[in-house]
Amino acid sequence: MAILSDQELQDLTLSFQGDSYSKERALDLVAAATLSLVTEPGDRMAGALAKALGRQGLLQLLIDGFEPARVLEAVNKVSATNYLMEIFGDLPGTISDSRQRWLPRFSKQAVANTLQRAQQLEHSLLLAGDDFWPMGLDDLAEGAPAIIFAQGNYKVLGKLAKGVSIVGSRACTEYGAKVSAKLVSELAFHKRPTVSGGAIGIDSHVHTQSLRNSLPTVAVMAGGLDRKYPSSNSNLFQAIARNGVLISELACGVAPSRWRFLQRNRLIAALTPTTVVVEAGIRSGSIRTANNAIELNRELFAVPGPLTSAASAGTNSLIAEGKARALVDTRLITADVSEPARFQDGSSLLVRAQDALRELRQATGEQIAKVAGLTNFELSLALDELKARNLLTSIQDSSGLLHYALKYANRA
């Protein structure tokens, strides 16, 4: 890979590698940082190609000019053509469009600057599969981030299987602030971390109350970690960096924008098994987060509010439409919502396959059948039922073999 020399690789990535240097890890970090730079958040083509070819394989194609014919040849070589056509339809056209979007942003200097800036600011870099990578992000499949930039105690991200994402209106009311304080207090008692977006209003109340209760909190930014928004919350962000963690899928220098705020919301919903909307207008980012949570099969709560309050119009609508459970008691959140008994509905075959996947985390059909003690026919029935209930995700490896995993909210 000719984008950086061996010495440049080591100089730019050593500080992100702990006690020892690995060239393979260095190449992965460079490839992931490059994808973060050349794509917009949620770019499914980048995610799909990275899964099919590996991050380094995709980076090599970018270095070579990302010629559509070369890309199609590489995809065909790993038997991923059908997989990609199922997602994108016109594969050559989508690759050509991606080339137009990505190549103008691609440069060695931009990659080097990204890693140097992260070093200077003492940020941590996490890739999928790392010890403290938040596993909920994997449920975003092809739209998952290539990399996470973190400021603060990134190990908090490994504890989000019991976390709760809480969002709401920037123009929150006193009622919303009180509900947020009570909810966070309950969560602190049960040591369940919080996630929010760092904005004024409900987000700020969630982070502030978490810090006051010595509860780890995660703030998800819509731009680079040197472009935190809003600037009026700079003191709060500093406190979060000392007692929690701020994260972004975007490199330093990248400005928050309307699209990036919308895409940021999918991370907030994915990071935890439970999302709560405290207050929200009918059209708002919080409603977008709620819809993301529904798409990801997350548990969704909304706080009912006065009919006369515009700040509660969105939450009341979520409840009325049956999209969210009404949070009539904060203890509903702190109950053992992830106990296995919650997921025992369904056939005995489903339960056995589900139990096997909880043990294996990710596995082929053959591995699942072996652990669960199922025949191939019984396994196919169980997998079909899991898919029908939207409980299963699958990833195809470079040889075309499918690997299955339970969706995040059902892994506990």
Q: 110 and 69, same structural domain? A: yes
Report yes or no: 386 and 350 within 8 Å, Cβ to Cβ: yes
- Copy the structure tokens of residue 265: 């919301």
Does 157 have pLDDT greater than 80? yes
What is the tens place of the pLDDT at every residue in 31-40?
999 999 999 9
CATH of the domain at 347: 1.10.10.10
For residue 339, the model assigns a pLDDT of 36
For residue 120, the model assigns a pLDDT of 96
Per the omega criterion (within 30 degrees of 0), is the bond before 230 cis?
Answer: yes
- pTM, 2 dp: 0.82
Number of domains in the chain: 3
Q: 66 and 44, same structural domain? A: yes
Q: Which residues contact 89 (CB under 8 A, 6 or more apart)?
A: none
Does 153 have pLDDT greater than 70? yes
CATH of the domain at 308: 3.40.50.450
Q: 306 and 161, same structural domain? A: yes
Q: Is residue 126 one of the residues assigned to a domain?
A: no
Which residue type does 26 have? A
Read off the pLDDT of each residue in 178-196 and give the average, rounded to a whole number: 95
Q: Which residue has the higher pLDDT, 15 or 341?
A: 15
Q: 103 and 31, same structural domain? A: yes
- Copy the structure tokens of residue 137: 């992000």
Which residue type does 244 have? G
Q: 150 and 298, same structural domain? A: yes
Does 337 have pLDDT greater than 90? no
For residue 247, the model assigns a pLDDT of 98
What is the tens place of the pLDDT at every residue in 91-148?
999 999 999 999 999 999 999 999 999 999 999 999 998 999 999 999 999 999 999 9
Does 341 have pLDDT greater than 50? no
Does 2 have pLDDT greater than 70? no
Report yes or no: 403 and 364 within 8 Å, Cβ to Cβ: yes
Q: 181 and 293, same structural domain? A: yes
Q: Is residue 129 one of the residues assigned to a domain?
A: no
Q: Return mean pLDDT, the chain.
A: 91
Closest CA to 198 of 158, 255, 238: 238
Does 17 have pLDDT greater than 50? yes
Q: 247 and 206, same structural domain? A: yes
For residue 391, the model assigns a pLDDT of 85
What is the tens place of the pLDDT at every residue in 52-102?
999 999 999 999 999 999 999 999 999 999 999 999 999 999 999 999 999
Does 246 have pLDDT greater than 60? yes
The answer to which of 112-116, 245-249, 339-343 has the lowest mean pLDDT is: 339-343
Q: 115 and 164, same structural domain? A: no
| % of the chain beyond a pLDDT of 90 | 76
Q: Is residue 32 one of the residues assigned to a domain?
A: yes
| Domain span holding position 350 | 341-410
- Which residue among 120, 150, 179 closes a domain? 120
Neighbouring C-beta atoms of residue 148, cutoff 10 Å: 27
What is the tens place of the pLDDT at every residue in 362-404?
899 999 998 888 888 889 888 988 888 888 888 887 777 889 9
Q: 157 and 232, same structural domain? A: yes
What is the tens place of the pLDDT at every residue in 197-223?
999 999 999 999 999 999 999 999 999
Give dist(CA 148, CA 248) in Å, integer. 6
Give dist(CA 286, CA 288) in Å, integer. 5
Q: Which residue has the higher pLDDT, 292 or 409?
A: 292
Q: 359 and 214, same structural domain? A: no
Three-class HEC string of the chain:
CCCCCHHHHHHHHHHHCCCCCCHHHHHHHHHHHHHHHHCCCCCHHHHHHHHHHCHHHHHHHHHCCCCHHHHHHHHHHCCCHHHHHHHHCCHHHHHHHHHHHHHHHCCHHHHHHHHHHHHHCCCEEECCCCCCCCHHHHHHHHHCCCCEEEEECHHHHHHHHHCEEEECCCCCCHHHHHHHHHHHHHHHHCCCCEEECCCCCHHHHHHHHHHHCCCCEEEECCCCCCCCCCHHHHHHHHHHHHHCEEEECCCCCCCCCHHHHHHHHHHHHHHCCEEEECCCCCCCHHHHHHHHHHHCCCEEEECCCCCCCHHHHHHHHHHHCCCCEECCCCHHHHCCCCCHHHHCCCCHHHHHHHHHHHHHCCECHHHHHHHHCCCHHHHHHHHHHHHHCCCEEEEECCCCCEEEEECHHHCC
Q: Is residue 266 one of the residues assigned to a domain?
A: yes
